[in-house]
Structure 1
Amino acid sequence: MLKLLSDMLPPNNELPTSTYEAKKILCPMGMNVKKIHACPNDCVLFRNEHEHLHTCPKCGASRYKREGSNSSTSHKKRPPVKDLRYFPIVERFKRMFTNINDAKLIRWHMEGRKSDGMLRHPADSPQWRTIDRKFPEFGQEARNLRLRVSADGMNPYRTLSSQHSTWPVLLTIYNLPPWLCMKRKYIMLTLLIPGPKEAGNNIDVYLQPLIEDLKLLWDQGEKVYDAYKKADFTMCAVIFCNISDFTGYGNVLGYTIKGANACPICEDSTTDIHLKNCKKNVYMGHRTFLPLAHPYRKRKRSFDGTIETRVARLPLTGNEVFERVKNIDIVLGKLYKKPTTSSIWKKRSIFWDLPYWEHLQVRHCLDFMHIEKMFVKALPEHF
């Protein structure tokens, strides 16, 4: 394809005609990709202390595809069973600040935003002010990045079949104006978690490279040249929130999203009714969120025949959630059974390794697309 495009352009053009030449141009720009071999059972990544192993240290599965019992092919030339693609984020952030326009737009939330008490941008939210109050040194630097991470499964073969599920992990920069931060140009693909089966609860194994870079950007920062100010500065970054659908919410957070306690706000105080015929749980205690004087609380015939006198529980703070999950110790991997405990938490999410995670008011958000879709389906026909 590269050679064909080169022939279509005028003579003596500088378009690379091979993949090797194209990589020589892209890699110095910070657009390289790291291929990290992974255990086929999602136990570990073959990096750091496991880099030179040929089998998984936990389950013993082979790292490479087997071509036969008597194959003499060296391990270096044999393809891996599963490999993770990681696009390093630090070099990409550095490249963004070398562009004068992008370096100026990064400061928009502090210098160009209209602050009148209206909610137009994440910078107007209480979460943004909480970070500024908890970490004043971070908040005073307008060029420190506030990122949103999101992940979901998709079939890369242009079909709606669920037989293959590859999980991309994306980063969005919330420093930018609202008309730019959701543009394709500024959304960064950081991880490509391979299929064909989703990692599920073991997604923490594949998030390790990203979390390590995020911890580095928070603890030490990275020296970056700002083309707009024409000076070096130490750039830091924070994960503002995570956005996913409800299934991804359960995988990333480690909360049980099925059964009697599926509500992540009410948790063990969830009001549910188990339908015996269809073997499903339905949740009918929504009147607890209404004010105490609301007339719907006393309408028996319109609901379940009772008067609602209970009050909904407030969401748990970050410290309270961390106290519930800090002692949960599980072994990640498909071959390991989940511990038989009464806890509604399946694991301690890897995001708790970030020093600031427990101080955030809103750590996980549900995407609007699925909520709107399910809400519209539930409306009566006359609406």
Structure 2
Amino acid sequence: MEVYLDNGATTRPKEEVINIMVKAMTDYYGNPSSLHRKGIEVEKLVKKARNQVAKALGADEVEIYFTSGGTESNNLAIFGSLEGNKRKGKHIITTRIEHPSVLNVFNELEKRGYDVSYLRVDKAGLIDIDEFKNTLRNDTVLISVMYVNNEVGTIQPISEITNIINKRKNKPLLHVDAIQAFGKVKINLKKLKVDLMSISGHKIHGPKGIGALYVRKGTKIKSIVFGGNQELGIRSGTENVPGILGLGIAADHVKKEFDNNVNKMRNLKVKLLNGIKNNVEGIKINGFIEEDSAPHILNISFKGIRGEVLLHSLEQEGIYVSTGSACSSRKKSFSHVLKEMFLTEDEMEGAIRFSLSFQNTEEEIDYVIDKLKNIVRDLRKVIGGRG
């Protein structure tokens, strides 16, 4: 049996996504900027996909800009909004557990003269709202906070943050990295009132190489890529039509199947968690596990076992998991997220991330529990014997 539990890294594209992408490459191959019939045909399809993404987010069509993925969306949101609001201040805020596509941007901005405040988190990976309030200054121009943490699934209190920001006279901009949240947390941007939000196609059973940035009407933002003025001049470059159409289909599925998919993922997560707790000793659950956490991410440390060894042992049984985010899991250093959550070195070294999808089944979870308990037992015997 093959069981894929690394959906936080990437998801398997839906069949409808693959079909529309093939259609785009075989039939809808015109350039959306061309004035002839083939171009106009594709332009209408791109418009439809933009509308599908907007509806799934509770946004307006004109607020959606297509990008090459989550990393570009984050870079464009942060660099672009700061460039468009230069006179408002040089103080910016983020958290210590952001994705590298945000943290590395803020590190670069420090070098360019910005004053950066990094919010701490508690043992569950949650920021302190009081610390956030106290960090705000009159010259704070931008705040960037991840909605759902990609390693442990902690959900940050975005609504509370927006309520605090919107009461201020000198309201800073708020960017939300929702790449792990889209499709797992209910998002209605008309109610949430954030200024910028990033999403990615391959996290919602869409294609790789495509993402989108929501820019709230009236938000000043400047391009960081210059060319032919596509995407209303915000993101130049010939549109990735197959990717855009695939993202549109995936976003439409998110909207229509949200409740069913989230309930299924959460039930599978609870089943997996209970199965591990009842069959494997010496574990530590990292982050929240109930309604306060994402329905698809479960991070567990296995005492005395290296996560990389456990990962490859599971792989031999056709089970695919992760030792952290896919963007950093090949590095030897410990997870910056788990460090900030006060885990010991042993706990960090033994951490495994299981990330589920609505495509997973109860039969697969039973299989994982059965194999995992035996693998952990055998690995600990080998380790004990060597000791």
Same fold per TM (> 0.5)?
no
Instruction: Give the number of the structure whose residues are more often helix, by fraction.
Output: 2
Name the TM-score, length of structure 1 as normaliser: 0.27
Q: Could you say which structure has the larger radius of gyration?
A: 1
Task: Select the structure with the greater relative contact order (CA < 8 A; seq sep ≥ 6).
Answer: 2
Name the TM-score, length of structure 2 as normaliser: 0.27
